[in-house]
Amino acid sequence: MSINQSYAVFGLGRYGRAVAKELVDNGAEVLAVDMDEDIVNAVAGEIPYCKCADVTDAEVIKRLGIANIDIVIIAMATNLEASVMATMLCKEVGVKTVIAKCSSEMNYKILSKVGADRVVFPESESGIRLAKNLLSSGFIDIIELSKDVSMIELDVKPEWEGKNLLELNLRRKYSINVVAIVQEKNICINIDPEKPLKKSMKLIVIANVSKLSKLK
């Protein structure tokens, strides 16, 4: 997921608006949609492509060209029926990644069952954080430790397989510090720098935000 992919955000409440604005501010192509014309007019100045439409209507989904969108974020947690319909319609037209916001554990299960590729709780993941996560290609998760420093869960790159941390010298090449290695849900903080990395491993690293582009 990155700036080179296209995004659509359904629902422009506080969460959806934050996601869309962060994506737009970072140069991403974003289609923002809400059923409330007043809301659409209010955000039109900061999100160029805004539409007032009912995304629970199959014809509307086709007319908006959602089939050509790479990632759809459904930010309508207060309306489960609308979230479910929008999720199903997006998957039916072939959207590769649908991320749905939910308001409860039950809603989480329902949205997962009807096709959402990822379901987020807004209380634990802010809209801005989700947007930064999407824009950071190759990163599994981002937690901001400060304005300048983030903790990231990173897949082992193909070119890193079979090599150890001493050989890779990630600190020098990418300005990152590996603080833990995850394998089969086990987290190891006592890292052996001479142990070869495997594809199944994930690295927990701390990095300066300004240096993250080196990892893409």
Residues 111 and 204 both lie in one domain: no
Residues 111 and 18 both lie in one domain: yes
Residues in the chain: 216
Residues 119 and 160 both lie in one domain: no
Average per-residue pLDDT in the chain?
86
Residues 10 and 106 both lie in one domain: yes
For the chain, the domain total comes to: 2
**pTM recorded for the entire structure:** 0.66
Averaged over 136-161, what is the pLDDT? 73
In a domain, 58, yes or no: yes
Distance CA 196, CA 162 (A): 5
Q: Which residues pair with 151 in a beta bridge?
A: 143, 206
Cβ contacts of 138 within 8 Å, gap of 6 or more: 154, 155, 157, 215, 216
Domain that holds residue 86: 6-135
pLDDT of amino acid 47:
93
Residues 127 and 145 both lie in one domain: no
In a domain, 1, yes or no: no
Residues 41 and 128 both lie in one domain: yes
pLDDT at 108 over 80: yes
pLDDT of amino acid 146:
65
Residues 125 and 206 both lie in one domain: no
CATH number, position 126: 3.40.50.720
Residues 110 and 174 both lie in one domain: no
In a domain, 33, yes or no: yes
pLDDT at 165 over 60: yes
Residues 155 and 83 both lie in one domain: no
Percent of the chain with pLDDT over 70: 87
Higher per-residue pLDDT: 153 or 148: 153
Give the tens place of pLDDT for each residue, 40-82: 999 998 999 999 999 999 999 999 999 999 999 999 988 889 9
